[in-house]
Amino acid sequence: MSNNRVTRRQFLNYTLTGVGGFMAAGMLMPMARFAVDPILQKKAGGDFVPTDKKASELSDTPVKVDFTFEQVDAWYKSKVTNTAWVYKDGDKIIALSPVCKHLGCTVNWDGNKDFKNEFYCPCHGGRYEKNGKNVAGTPPLGPLDEFEVKVKDGLLLIGKTRANTLV
Amino acid sequence: MLNKIYDWVDERLDITPIWRDIADHEVPEHVNPAHHFSAFVYCFGGLTFFVTVIQILSGMFLTMYYVPDIENAWKSVYYLQNEVAFGEIVRGMHHWGASLVIVMMFLHTLRVFFTGSYKKPRELNWIVGVLIFCVMLGLGFTGYLLPWDMKALFATKVGIQIAASVPFIGEAIKILLAGDSSIIGAQTLTRFFAIHVFFLPACLLALLAAHFIMIRRQGISGPL
Amino acid sequence: MHKGKGMKFVGDTRVPKKDNKNVYPPDYSEYPGKTEPFWPDFLLKEWMVGAVFLVGYLILTIAHPSPLEGQADPTNTSYIPMPDWYFLFLYQLLKYEYASGPYNTIGAIVIPAIAIGSLMLAPFLDRGPERKPLKRPLPVAFMLLTLASMVFLTWESVVNHDWAAAKKQGQIVKTVEINQEDPGYKVYAKQSCINCHGDKLQGGAGPALTDTGLSADEIANIAHKGIRTMPAGQYKGSDEDLQKLAKFISGLKAE
């Protein structure tokens, strides 16, 4: 017994700490995992949203394409409709976001008689070239955003927005 | 009658020492505005506590009508403010109290700072005080979203963007607060509600208890 | 040094001292003065201050009903956000070139972290025995500098904010039945109005057009000449259609 460095009291203290730690972990682990769930949740695939526009119908003139996707916010599902201006540049399909980079109005192709072949924003006269580049001297601060696009079974699919890659 | 009840309880529980520690002690002259008017600066801490009590009470009553749900939160706030008797005053107390508590706490912090009262042996109480300050700012930030009106939503978007800009763990903090990687919506509101009503107040009460116990252990710092 | 009833204390506290090497500021019991009992003498005075404070507080809540803007609408892209007033200085800081964009971490994390960190560690940074502000110039100077910059940033943020626009953009919009078959609505949809004022006239980049309180003539006038940020010459159609449009919009009133 004289070699025994751990006294009875110390042993009891360690055991108490251990059991206490087990109880704390047992209580808190499910709760912690519960709280951080959104961080670990994988986003379901299918980021591309189908439209009813046939890829073959597209020309080099931008047309308005509506696409509706279901936004899932936990227990709320809502339909959100977005629009894109889509045209063909050679074989490449380009889809531009209609959201003006000034204050978020909606731009239109050939929206003003005086500015042919440009995107025009009616709010403050912001103008963009066909590739989305903002015309210097008008209010917008940058080029229009671009959507990722895909063609499947001849139909156009629209994905996420990204910064304009054409300018 | 009251004395008899007191004696009856005291005989069994010996509450006199507790009572003495809370209430029966001398207050020095230098913090008493009746002697030196400038001593009113020593009132800021007490007033902060007073507003905090009002916040806790009015908040408890607000939850009788409030629903933390994106479809109904705004409607319930609109209803309790416009349809319920005294709703405008109860919500007003909570709304303006949130600003007042920041003001009073700020003034209290400055008083402690400029009188050098945080010096040895009161360092720990100062640290607890700064933590209370942070918890209060957190309460302000989370409470701002709950009415689910325009300014609430967009201010929270900015706030969460700021949190997301922390290097490395920013994205995780953002999702932990917002409950979703891209939407400020249903899960954000419930999370902010939980943080505002349960988590932060629990921290606040624990810190306040520590703050007051330390004040009673250490007394008020001496005159300058 | 024996204080109180012969006990030794840590500084001017009631915590008994274990060694007596350092010299602390004297206990307030060493200052002959008029101490008084906390209960009930001093507490009564505190409560009197509290009562005055409460009256002011209640007057504030009655005089200024707490604001409530329209219900949150995540699809509104033109809303200019604004935090509560005590976060304004941080909001303003992030507008500066070296605290935003690629330097965002500096403005959003580094500067606030340094401020909170040094506030929390103040007792360890300012260790001298002096308590009078004038005898510890550095900590006091830093604090005053911080205060001045917070006041300045808040001020800058307030004067640079368009308060009139802020008030307008958050207004509660009463829902109004929109008859999309109305000839006026058809003109509305055909012209560029719908881009800014929304398909239900609920507003977007421009304000909502329901409950305007304007007469048909005034609306027709605005459609031609613009108003505030709305440029002139937005309406491009016949005068006959314009009359339909103006009548339609001025007739939209919430019940």
Distance of alpha carbon B132 from alpha carbon C23, whole angstroms = 30
Q: What integer pLDDT is reported at residue C3 of this predicted model?
A: 46
Q: What integer pLDDT is reported at residue C1 of this predicted model?
A: 42
pLDDT tens, position by position, B140-153: 999 999 999 999 99
Q: Which of B29, B47, B92 sits opposite C33 (nearest CB)?
A: B29
Contacts of B196 in chain C (CB under 8 A): none
Q: Lowest mean pLDDT of A81-95, B210-224, C183-197, name the range.
A: C183-197
Q: What is the mean pLDDT of residues A146-156?
A: 85
Q: Amino acid letter at A48?
A: F
Give yes or no for C234 touching A (CB within 8 A).
yes
DSSP per-residue string spanning chain C: --BTTTB-BSTTSSSBPS---S--PPPGGGS-S--EEIIIIIHHHHHHHHHHHHHHHHHHHHHSPPP--SBP-TT---------GGGHHHHHHTTSGGGSGGGHHIIIIIHHHHHHHHHHTHHHHS-SS--SGGG-HHHHHHHHHHHHHHHHHHHHHHHTS-HHHHHHHTPPPPP----TTSHHHHHHHHSTHHHHH-TTS--SSSPP-TT----HHHHHHHHHH-BTTBPS----S-HHHHHHHHHHHHT----
Q: What is the mean pLDDT of residues B128-132?
A: 97
Q: Do the chains contact at C205 and A99, CB–CB below 8 Å?
A: no
Q: Which one is predicted more confidently, B146 or B27?
A: B146
Residue C6 pLDDT class (50, 70, 90 cuts): low
Pick the residue from chain C with its C-alpha nearest to B161: C108
Point out which residues pair with A134 in neighbouring strands. Answer: A128
pLDDT tens, position by position, C126-144: 998 899 999 999 999 999 9
pTM given for the model? 0.80
Give yes or no for C192 touching A (CB within 8 A).
yes
Which strands sit side by side in the sheet containing A92-96, from one edge to the other? A49-54, A155-162, A146-152, A92-96, A76-89, A63-73
A92-96 and A108-109 strand pairing: unpaired
pLDDT tens, position by position, C215-227: 888 888 888 888 7
Residue B170: pLDDT over 60: yes
Q: Which one is predicted more confidently, C183 or C110?
A: C110
Residue B163 pLDDT class (50, 70, 90 cuts): confident
Contacts of A105 in chain C (CB under 8 A): 78, 195-196, 204-205
Residue A3 pLDDT class (50, 70, 90 cuts): low
pLDDT tens, position by position, C194-215: 777 877 777 766 777 777 778 8
Q: What integer pLDDT is reported at residue C2 of this predicted model?
A: 46
Q: Which one is predicted more confidently, A51 or C198?
A: A51
Residue A103: pLDDT over 80: no
Give yes or no for B93 touching C (CB within 8 A).
yes
As a three-state string, the secondary structure of A54-75 is: EHHHCCCCCEEEEEEEEEEECC
- In CATH, what is the architecture of A49-162? 3-layer Sandwich (2.102)
Q: Which residues contact C178 (CB under 8 A, 6 or more apart)?
A: C185, C200, C201, C252
- Average pLDDT of chain C is 81
Q: Which one is predicted more confidently, A90 or C159?
A: C159
Which of C195, C230, C236 has the highest number of chain A CBs within 10 A, making it the mutation to test binding with A?
A: C195
Q: What is the mean pLDDT of residues C72-77?
A: 74
Contact B224, C18 (CB under 8 A): no
pLDDT tens, position by position, C233-242: 778 778 888 8
Q: Lowest mean pLDDT of A97-106, A143-152, B185-194, name the range.
A: A97-106
Calculate what percentage of chain B has a pLDDT beyond 90. 70
Those of residues 22-51 in A touching chain B at CB distance below 8 A are 35-36, 38-39, 43
Q: Which of B33, B47, B123 sits opposite C50 (nearest CB)?
A: B47
Residue C151 pLDDT class (50, 70, 90 cuts): very high
Contacts of C78 in chain A (CB under 8 A): 103-105
- Average pLDDT of chain A is 83
Q: What integer pLDDT is reported at residue C32 of this predicted model?
A: 60
- Average pLDDT of chain B is 92
